[in-house]
Amino acid sequence: MLMKSLADSDPQIAAAIDDELARQRQTIELIASENFTSPAVLEAVGTVLTNKYAEGYPSRRYYGGCEKVDVVENLARQRACELFGCKFANVQPHCGANANLAAYAALVEPGDTILGMSLDQGGHLTHGSPVNFSGKLYNFVPYGLNLETETIDYDELERMATIAHGVGARLMIDMAHIAGLVATGAHPSPFPHADVVTSTSHKTLRGPRGGFILTNDEELARAIDKAVFPGTQGGPLMHVIAGKAVAFGEALQPSFAEYIDNVVANAAALGEGLVQGGLRLVSGGTDNHLCLVDLTPADVTGKDAEHLLDAAGLTVNKNSIPGEPRSPFVTSGIRVGSAAGTTRGFTADEFREIGGLIARVVFNADDEGVLAAVRARVDELLEAHPLYPGL
């Protein structure tokens, strides 16, 4: 039987996919948690591996016929360990939230106390938010920032907990945002300090959407494996694990280190452009891939800025700032990052200009002429850096 193409079998879905590709091509992607995978990763994720049920782990599956997918998962695990300099990796979590859920299940019991960063000061939903499983299952004690420096006050943190091992606690690091930087040494590694490290495989690592967990402790590795399956997940997504393996392999190449160096330099240039345009960066700047922007000088909310910038072809997300007076659905800031734009080929000079374009939009929210001029300049920048020209 000859299979129909997607366009023939489901034109509505095919059209939606085409529209999303067009949207990605026609906007400058500045959301710090997004990136563009390589065509090789896209190809791996779209393979027949999606057909295979593979509950369990390599050589220990609950279904037959897993010999080939075992090769894929073993490569993903080996490459993750090599990339991050650790001994054990579980590459099955479907996302970062699932990775954190499994890590908690391996480390603590429901009701146990966990010290985690407050969501409104830089943490994540899975770091103890009361609306999330983490806040419902565990007793999270939040820590945050010194509101004057807008950075973590480690002396205060130590007074709260006597850092991790000092009180016999376990130290878990969620490096989802900075995984690509850690992989190349552009950011200090959580190892050997952390007992467990969780991450996503997208963001700065530039892989498919998914999660993974790392450790050097063999006993913890066994507990983590059990916490992932059968503890919190069923069959792994073998097509996504193949994409992770490809991405880990790409990140082991010298070209990836060059890419990350550019990501860091471009984020700094983006921040310079924002400041030169009259906006303020939380903590005074950035040393990684993202900037948190205080919109107070422009007297515009994060929600409104997100819509204004989207219309100008600049995709960002609204974000709370330290001491946020507004709802998390409105906010007083935006968060911007350089990972996706760097993948697309934007230079530091272009990122500096992009920062200025953002400032022009938010300071001229009611000036249609300015907004049209920014959109035109964005289109020129995009034309110089085509996205997925082979698709």
Residue 30, marked binder: no
Same domain, 94 and 199: yes
- pLDDT tens-place string over residues 8-46: 999 999 999 999 999 999 999 999 999 999 999 999 999
Domains contained in the chain, number: 2
């994720």: which residue's tokens?
45
Same domain, 350 and 375: yes
Q: What is the dihedral of CA 42, 47, 50, 56, to 10 degrees?
A: -90
CATH number at residue 226: 3.40.640.10
Same domain, 232 and 362: no
Q: Given pLDDT bands bounded at 50, 70 and 90, which one contains residue 164?
A: low
Question: What average pLDDT does the structure give for the chain?
Answer: 95
Residue 45: both structure tokens together: 């994720």
Domain assignment present for 153 = no
Residue 327, marked binder: yes
Average pLDDT over residues 150-158: 88
Same domain, 71 and 191: yes
Same domain, 177 and 290: no
Sign of CA dihedral 208, 252, 47, 6: positive
Which one from 79, 209, 318, 352 is the annotated catalytic residue? 209
Structural domain for 63, as ranges? 42-108+170-252
Q: How far apart are CA 366 and CA 372, in angstroms?
A: 11
Domain assignment present for 49 = yes
Domain closes at, from 207, 229, 252: 252
Which one from 34, 55, 120, 261 is the annotated catalytic residue? 55
Same domain, 47 and 189: yes
259 is catalytic: no
55 is catalytic: yes
CATH number at residue 354: 3.90.1150.10
The continuous run of DSSP H or E covering 267 comes out as helix 254-276
Domain closes at, from 252, 276, 294: 252
Same domain, 237 and 347: no
Q: Given pLDDT bands bounded at 50, 70 and 90, which one contains residue 247?
A: very high
79 is catalytic: no
Residue 387, marked binder: no
Same domain, 280 and 328: yes
Residue 123, marked binder: yes
Q: How far apart are CA 363 and CA 357, in angstroms?
A: 10
Which one from 52, 79, 203, 335 is the annotated catalytic residue? 203
Same domain, 242 and 276: no
Same domain, 195 and 230: yes
34 is catalytic: no
For residue 317, pLDDT over 90 is answered with: yes
Q: How far apart are CA 370 and CA 375, in angstroms?
A: 9
Residue 324, marked binder: no
Domain assignment present for 186 = yes
156 vs 93 pLDDT, higher one: 93
Same domain, 190 and 59: yes
Residue 125, marked binder: yes
Short-list 302, 305, 290, 295, CA closest to 351:
290
